[in-house]
Chains A and B, each alone.
Chain A
């Protein structure tokens, strides 16, 4: 079964660093782009960026460039989303998603809830 499993919920204080992960299984992890999507409470989906695990190429959405770091490790079949310092406005659900043929987002992780509060 093709699946993406994400790390668990996080509670952070403003200014702290954070890394969440997404582990793929059931398919050739190196060959598919893997993206990240933010969803703030009660709001819509926002595209953050995407990484190609095979060559580590990363394309950031203009809105998120410089705000987060996206990376992948093929030895662990895992992609990462990282913040140097989190803010309250980063509180949201974050989904990883596999990009299949074309631009279809065909496999989604279960989501990681990030709460940033002092």
Chain B
């Protein structure tokens, strides 16, 4: 995968989860984040690094710094347990690229 994510992150309920995504291309291109629950299609939760689609709770936020973007989930709940994928565009600007996914475990 062209975008590098940690395979797993674990947090206790009510705490803050931070999931990172790194790649050189992220210094020039926006990042997008998706949540995928078991057996379901992914859902967009953050676009253009830090924007939240309507209907996504304010607990979800995004940030960008150089070649790393971060998805932050504040006040984590049991239902936030899922796999989170970052996405951007390749260096040619023509093809979508995904990170390998991060499994968020709520302890």
Give residues in A with beta carbon < 8 Å to B.
35, 44-47, 50, 59, 61-62, 95, 100, 102-106, 108-111
Closest beta carbon of chain B to A49's beta carbon, Å: 8
**Given known contacts A44-B1, A47-B95, A109-B41, A104 and B32 CB-to-CB distance under 8 angstroms:** yes
Q: Which of B65-80 contact A (CB under 8 A)?
A: none
- A105:B34 contact, CB within 8 angstroms: yes
Q: For the complex, what is the distance from the CA of A62 to the CA of B53, rounded to whole Å? A: 30
- A103:B85 contact, CB within 8 angstroms: no
- A45:B98 contact, CB within 8 angstroms: yes
22 pairs, CB–CB < 8 Å, chain A vs chain B: A44-B1, A44-B98, A44-B99, A45-B85, A45-B87, A45-B98, A47-B96, A47-B98, A59-B95, A61-B95, A95-B41, A95-B42, A100-B47, A103-B30, A103-B87, A103-B88, A103-B89, A103-B96, A105-B34, A105-B87, A109-B41, A111-B41
Residue on B with the closest CB to A49? B95
Across-interface contacts of A111 in B (CB, < 8 A): 41
Across-interface contacts of A102 in B (CB, < 8 A): 30, 47-48
Q: For the complex, what is the distance from the CA of A28 to the CA of B61, rounded to whole Å? A: 30
Residue on B with the closest CB to A35? B96
Residue on A with the closest CB to B34? A105
Residue on B with the closest CB to A111? B41
Interface extent on B, as a size class?
Answer: 20 to 34
Residue on A with the closest CB to B100? A44
Q: Which of B30-57 contact A (CB under 8 A)?
A: 30, 32, 34, 41-44, 47-48, 53
- B42:A108 contact, CB within 8 angstroms: yes
Q: For the complex, what is the distance from the CA of A34 to the CA of B91, rounded to whole Å? A: 21
Q: For the complex, what is the distance from the CA of A44 to the CA of B2, rounded to whole Å? A: 12
Q: Which of A103, A106, A108, A111 is most buried by chain B, counting CB atoms within 10 A of its CB?
A: A103
Is B97's CB within 8 Å of the partner chain A?
A: yes
**Given known contacts A44-B1, A95-B42, A111-B41, A106 and B53 CB-to-CB distance under 8 angstroms:** yes
